[in-house]
Each structure stands twice: as C-alpha cells, then as structure tokens.
Structure 1
Amino acid sequence: MIRPAAERPRRVAMLSVHTSPLHQPGTGDAGGMNVYIVELARRLAARGIEVEIFTRATSAALPPRVELAPGVLVRHVVSGPYEGLAKEDLPAQLCAFTHGLTRAWAGQRPGHYDLLHSHYWLSGHVGRLAARRWGVPLVHAMHTLAKVKNAGLAAGDTPEPAIRVRGETHIVRAADRLIANTEQEAGELRRHYDADTGRVAVVHPGVDLRRFWPDPAGADAGPDRRPHPVDAEPGPHRTDTARVVASRAAARARLGLPQDALIPLFAGRIQPLKGPDVLLRAVARLLAHRPELRDRLVVPFVGGPSGSGLARPEGLHKLAAALGITDVVLFHPPVGQDRLADWYRAASVLVMPSHSESFGLVAVEAQACGTPVIAARVGGLPVAVRDGRSGVLVPGHDPADYARALARFADDPARSARMGAAAARHARSFGWDATAAATAHVYAEALRERRARGGGA
C-alpha cells in the first residue's frame, strides 16, 4: 500500500557526480542518465517533492546554484580541477566532492533533506558515506553495471576497472533501496552483486510524450504551440500510419533530407559500447549486395565521441572511408531534445547495435516519434522494443544480421510506417509520470523501513 503523501519525503538530495543534468545529452559523458535525472526530478517536483541535484562544478564561471525547474535546484560542488578530468580520473576526487556535499548539507537546518538518491557508482560511493553520516535512507540507481559491461565488451573497448566493481559491491550492501530499470537488471544485481531481493525495486524509465510523438508540426512549432498527442488525435490515443507518414515527410523537409530515402539513424554517444561500427559495416554489406540502394540511402550519426571513443574521435570517419561508404554517411553533432525528435521522425528506422544497455531510452524516444527500432537483444532493449511489432531485435552483433534487417525495410518501404505506428502506441506505456510515481513509492518504502528500525530521517 502506498503511504499517505504526508509521509513521503519533502525534499530529496540527488547526486550526479560525473555528469551534470545541465549538459547536452550526446556530448562527453552526458547521455540517457542526464535525461533520466532531469525528467525524474521535474516530475517529482510536480508531485510536491523538492529535488536538489548535486553535481561536480566543471567551470569557475558556473553559479553555485541553478534553478532547473520549479522545485528543482542544481548545486555545483567544487571538487578537483574544473576541466581536464576524464570520468576515469574522478574516483580520486570523491573525497573532495563528499566534503563539498557535507558543507552544503551543514548550511541547512536539520532535516532539510529526507533522503539521498544517487545515480551511477561514483555518486553511490559519495551517497553511502553521506547517508550514513546524516542518518537518512540511500536510494541508488546503478544505470549500468561494471560486471555486465565487462561481460559484453566490444572489440578493442576498455574494461571497467576493479575499483568500480568494488565500489558497486559496497553500494549494493549499503543502499536502503536499489532501483533497477528492468527485471533483467534486478536479476543481474542479485546474481553478480548478491543484492537483497527485498531491497531491489524495478522502475522503468520514461519518455516525454509531449516532446516525442509523430508530429507533422515538429520542433519549429515550439512546445507551446504543439498540442499534446492525446488531445490531437481522435479515439483512444490512436496513431495510424498516415500520421507517421506525414510526420516523417515534414521532418525530412525541415532537415533537408530526401523524401524517398532509406534512412537508418544512429543517435547517441559515439563509443564502442554503442556499436556504431556495426551499423557502418552493415551498410557496407548491404550496398555490396544491393548497389542500387546507394542513390537512396542516407545514414546519419547524430552524437559526439564519448567514453573510450574519445581516444579515437576520428575512428568512425576513418572506418566509413575504409568501407567506401562516406558518400552515404552523415555525421552530425549532438542536438537539443526538440531537434532530436525531428531526427527520430525523419528516420526510416533507428539502429541500436549496443553491446550493453541497462534500458535504452533512445529506443523508446524514437518509437514514441513513430520510428521502429533495430536493436541488439541485450540488457533492457527487449523491454524497450517489442520484437516483431515495434521493431526488430537482433541476437548478436554480426553486421550481416543488421544488413538483412535493413534490407527488409528497403524492400518494403511501407513497413517503416506500419511498424512506426505500432511503435508509437507501444511507447505510450513508458511515461515519466509513471516513473516518478513509482520512484516516490520506493522513497516512501525506504523511509518507512528506516523509521521502523528507529533510524529516523
């Protein structure tokens, strides 16, 4: 039974050490977790739970506090050099971050924060120390797991270090509640980290259905001029192929893309983990067998180098040249969420050959826009994508399998719109309001259990 609202936390301290919610997703280490934190914080605030997000200051020019949304405050904590630190360098700065968090906490009246919610293992390390010191519950979301990532490394990728594995093990033992994106991730927490089943809660991430939907008006209309999809469509939230076709045509016109093209899109951070090379090799194989497709094929990569991809930022460009397909490949820097929605709408299909995904927010965003997905059958993608209905799940990373999947869309151009309509309907089951409600329930359970043990909050 969900507790009365009065017993839920009034204010939550949220930790995002290595990446700021103010950063542009698709750049550096900013990605799906940034979107997750921003959207969750906004929806929690709308439910009456204030959120203060603590993140590492990456510039001396940053103000100490920034209001992200009503009821959501971002606090910049000075910890180590502002610039020049990779994510791998940050464990050495965690003591400094913890000290900065302690100072910010000490400046508030007792009981100002009711609960700590940390994201990713770096934040969890700080969170377990701070929660113990202040006697408040710790709720932690891993987002990715080192042992799972290391078990599915891409060729040439760098394994996660032992310090992370040890850190995650300590966090699992210390957290009052662990939030997993899917049942599979919950099982991985139990299997690889011996997590207590009673402390693991499954909460699916969401999608902003006011931004991502089959919308012929698109980003140029502005969020205030676009109707909510539920309000705009007749019947019980219907999306038909005609709406998808119109949305796609309008988005292609806005982006300057050919109307009759086959457009397999890659969107996200450019790094081996995400498998962008698999898509390039699949396209090369497709053209080797179907050279007549070259004149109507455009393959956009929307995003920037990240993680181990920063070591060879030009690697994907060189691979495209070596494969002889630079004429069909389009590299585009990261874009804001409204413009990203147009790239989704314009695509025939989104391709996600990831080696590991805790969920796959990009897949849900694309489907919400009426675009089917070809994805690896890994992690949370079988939950995000309904195989055979809203997309195609590929068992592995053989480019030949992805080439065959793309060929089916080339042979049946109407297939993209048919599956896209089903994809949009499927994506409506993932809303951030539901994510926030479930997360608030997890908070309530953690607080109740802490108080039952006499720990207070």
Structure 2
Amino acid sequence: MSTSHPTAGRVAMVSEHASPLAALGGPDAGGQNVYVAQLAGRLVRRGHEVTVYTRRDDPRLPERVTTPEGFQVVHVPAGPAAPIPKDELPPYMPEFGDFLARQWATRPPDVVHAHFWMSGWAALSGAYGLDVPVVQTFHALGTVKRRYQGAADTSPRDRVAIETVIGRECDRIIATCEDEVAELEAMGLSRDRISVVPCGVDPEQFAPVAGARRPASAPRRLLAVGRLVPRKGFDRAIRALADVPDAELLIAGGPEAALLLAEPEAERLRALAEECGVADRMTLLGGVSRERMPGLISSADLVLSLPRYEPFGIVPVEAMACGAPVLATAVGGQLDTVVDGVTGRLVPADDDHDLGATVRGLLADPRLLARYGAQGRRRVLARYTWDRVAEGVMRAYSAVSSVPSLSGALR
C-alpha cells in the first residue's frame, strides 16, 4: 500500500456488539459487521486513519489489532470478557463510554461514527465536552422491532426513548433507506439532519459465477439466505414451495450444517416442510461462507427475500450483484433496492398474498428472469458498491466535521 497521500482525517467508529473481525452467522453477527469492516477499509484507502471500537467478548483478544486493510480494532473492556446477547449489553455502555472518553481526551478523532443505538449512547458519552461531532447509523430501530415483534421483542424497554435522545443529540444521522427516514421523522427527528446512504456489496466478490447454473432438466432452484430467525420469512418460502412443483428450496444461514439439529428455528422449518409435504425438496444448508455464496447465488433460478420487516436487507443486493433475479417483500430497504418489474418482483409482506402463483409465473419465463438478473447487476454497479457507500458517508462526515467529502486518490 502506498503512503504518498496524507491522512485526510481521523475517524473513530463505535460498533459495540458487531466487531469487523467477527465470524458471521451467529445470532448477533451479520450485516452490521460487514458494513463496518467494508466501510473502514474503504475510508483507509482514501487516506483516513480509522479506528473501530468494539466490546471485548473474549479474554484472549489483544487490546488493539491492525487489520490487513489498514484500520485498527480496539477491544474495549466493558462488562465480562465473554459473549453476551446484544439486548443484555446496556448496563455496560457507561463503562464503554468512559473508556472512549479516556482514549479521546489526549487525541480526539475528527469525527465519530456510531453503529447501532447502544454505540451511539457510548459514543456521545465518550465525546462529551470534546467538541467532536458524532454521526449515528442505527442499522435497526426499536420502533420497527416493537411494532412487528410485540411481546416477543427482547429489546430493553427504554430503547426507543434512548434512540430518540441519541437522534437529537448526535450531529447527523445516516439512514440506510427512505423507509428508515420516515421512521426517524415519526420519532420527531428532523429530516434536514439525515443523510441517506445505503449498505453496499463488493461487486468483484459478488459477481455472476460462470458455469454455476444447472441444466434445464434439473429442478428449478429457489434460494433463501439469512439468519435463522422467524422474521426472515423462510416459512413463507416453504409454504410457497408446496405450490411450485419441480422446484427445490435451499435455505442458507445459521450455524454450520452439523449444528443445525440444536437450532430451534431449523427444527420449526423442518416440521413445517413435513407438514407441507415438501421435506424432500427443502434443504437447510446451514452457514455458507462468503467465499462460497456467489456460486450458490449464481446457481439459483430465483432468490427469495421474504422478511416480514427488514431495516435494509443486504441479500437482495448481493443477489443482484450476482445477476440473480429477486422476489422480495415490499418492506424496509427492499423498497429501495429491488425495482419491481425491472430487477425482480416486490410482493406484500402479509401471508394473504399467493406467493406460490407468483413464483410459478416467474419460473415459467426464463427470459424475464435473465433480464431481471442483468438489470440487477447494472443497478448494483451504479448504486450499491462500497466505494459509492464510502462517498456518501464522507459527504455526511463533511457536513459536520473537518473531514473532507472527497480525499486523496484511492491507494
């Protein structure tokens, strides 16, 4: 890596539960981890000095790690050095904030970017009195989770109230989609302090894989990807499969295949497949590595992304990057990413929609699916690369700090 370009700015990222070093697939490890890692790497390439602060969840972790991409990860001692579900982390945020305050007292960053609501809590505490601007990305909002999960919502009772305070106290909010902007405005937060910057994908890693498509004589392949939690809507895909003869459904996500027997959601989905008479055509793959995912996506005739709610939803973007057509529920960020009738189809999120008929109609028109896939790839290249994301984030930084919106040539 060349060092010919001066550092454009010191950026501190706070990601209390989602380490950019974490292995994906766990209950609290997913899109936010990827977002933080990819954004940090892209900002370093633009000359920024980036440090990511995340909670120490293993006593063996060193205090500070320099990644191959050039950003540093600091493991913050806040609470036990052990894995803790993120909904149980709030009591440790004051300790996290105190650590940040000590770190920044002698050499404050030019801007702090907090990821998730508890990170915003800790970041605002750490930056207090230092005249350091704080930019907030919520990644998910308590109002949405409470609306859709009701009594099953495990978030702390005061989450929404704290998120509202964070939204008022931070210098700028980065929302990932227009649906999130509407939620933030409903919380009483001002639209003129919100920037919309989507999540991204690496179009070189996620690209069509030659030879991945199966012969025409093989069953049509439906693919669904995501964490094994009820809100992802895998049950809807299984029910639809019952109305789509000569098709198979692969579900990728959760722990490795050998550990699926101990996964409650996997057991629920297997029982549903038996009930629907499709157990022989539905396969739970377990966790699939990111290295294998482009080939798997490229082998699918249609990618199903059917969550009941979704803050952004990276699966449709990764599918489009691989040239795969997408059938998605019209929720959250999927309203922005999937263009109905252009890159795929959007359907209502309620269970009344005849999903099986929609899938049958799409599979019956291979030319249409090929057109959707090609248009999806073009849309990703135009809007959803990590370089595009980094540009949008830097514009948000520059609105509240000395960090320039455009800095140095890519290194």
> Normalising to structure 2: TM-score of the pair?
0.88
Matched, 1:200 2:218: no
Partner of 1:116: 112
Return the letter of the residue paired with 2:289: G
Q: Distance in 2 between matches of 1:157 and 1:328?
A: 31
Quote the residue 2:259 is aligned against: none
Shift of 1:65: 1.9
Other structure's SS at 1:263 match? strand
Cα distance in structure 2, aligned partners of 1:393 and 1:276: 16
- The alignment partner of 1:54 has SS state of strand
Aligned residues: 392
Shift of 1:84: 4.8
Residue aligning to 1:226: none
Out of 405, 418, 426, the position equivalent to 2:371 is 418
**SS, match of residue 158 in structure 2:** helix
1:42–1:72: 8 Å Cα contact kept in structure 2?
yes
Distance 1:157 1:373, change over 3 A: farther
**Superposed, which structure 2 residues align to 1:56-455 within 5 Å?**
56-106=55-105, 109-111=106-108, 113-153=109-149, 157-158=152-153, 160-191=155-186, 193-216=187-210, 246=211, 248-249=212-213, 260-284=218-242, 286-287=243-244, 293=245, 296-304=246-254, 312=265, 314-398=267-351, 400-429=353-382, 430-447=384-401
Q: Is the 8 A contact 1:181 1:202 kept in 2?
A: yes
Structure 2: gaps spanning 5 or more residues: 256-261, 404-411
Q: Is the 8 A contact 2:94 2:125 kept in 1?
A: no
- Which residue pairs with 1:228 in the alignment? none
Contact 2:325 2:376 in 1 (8 A): yes
Deviations 1:78-132 (A, max 9, x none): 22223352122111221222233334435xx434x11110001111111111122
Question: 1:178 and 1:144 mapped to 2: Cα distance?
Answer: 13
Distance across 2 between alignment mates of 1:366 and 1:94: 36
Measure the CA separation in 2 of the matches of 1:423 and 1:196: 33
2:13 is the alignment partner of 1:14:
yes
CA distance in 2, matches of 1:114, 1:167: 25
In structure 1, how many angstroms separate the alpha carbons of the residues matched to 2:184 and 2:155? 16
Maintained 8 Å contact 1:121/1:171: yes
Q: Deviating runs (4+, > 6 A) in structure 1?
A: none
Change beyond 3 A, Cα 1:363–1:178? same
Structure 2 CA distance, aligned partners of 1:68 and 1:315?
A: 39
Give SS of 1:135's match: coil
Residue matched to 1:239 = none
* Residue 421 to residue 12, structure 1, CA distance change in 2 (3 Å): same
CA contact 1:27–1:303 (8 Å) conserved in 2: no
Displacement of 1:183: 2.5
Q: Distance in 1 between matches of 2:322 and 2:62?
A: 35
In 2, Cα distance between equivalents of 1:322 and 1:159:
29
| CA distance 1:84–1:359, change in 2 (3 Å) | closer
C-alpha separation between the residues in 1 aligned to 2:8 and 2:236?
45
Q: Counterparts of 1:310 and 1:135 in 2: how far apart (Å)?
A: 47
Opposite residue 419 of structure 1, the aligned amino acid is: Y
Q: Distance in 2 between matches of 1:401 and 1:417?
A: 23
Specify the SS of the correspondent of 1:327.
Answer: helix
What secondary structure does 1:436 align onto?
Answer: helix
RMSD over aligned CA atoms reads: 2.5
Asked if structure 2 preserves the Cα contact closer than 8 Å seen for 1:21 and 1:38, the reply is: yes
**TM-score, normalization: structure 1?**
0.80
Is the CA contact 2:302–2:327 (under 8 Å) kept in the aligned structure 1? Answer: yes
Per-residue deviation, 1:268: 1.2
Displacement, 1:185? 1.6
What is the Cα deviation at residue 204 of structure 1?
2.0
> Once the 2 structures are TM-superposed, how far is the Cα of residue 58 of structure 1 from its aligned partner?
1.6
**Larger helix percent:** 1
Alpha-carbon deviation of 1:448? 5.3
Q: Distance in 1 between matches of 2:129 and 2:268?
A: 46
Q: Distance in 1 between matches of 2:81 and 2:273?
A: 35
> Does the 8 Å contact 2:104/2:126 carry over to 1?
no
CA contact (8 A) 1:303 1:332 kept: yes
Distance in 2 of aligned mates of 1:51 and 1:448? 15
Gaps of 5+ in 1: 217-245, 288-292, 450-457
Report if the CA contact (8 A) 1:24-1:334 is conserved: no
Distance in 2 separating the partners of 1:63 and 1:326: 46
Structure 1 counterpart of 2:399, one-letter code:
E
* Map of 2:29 onto structure 1: 30
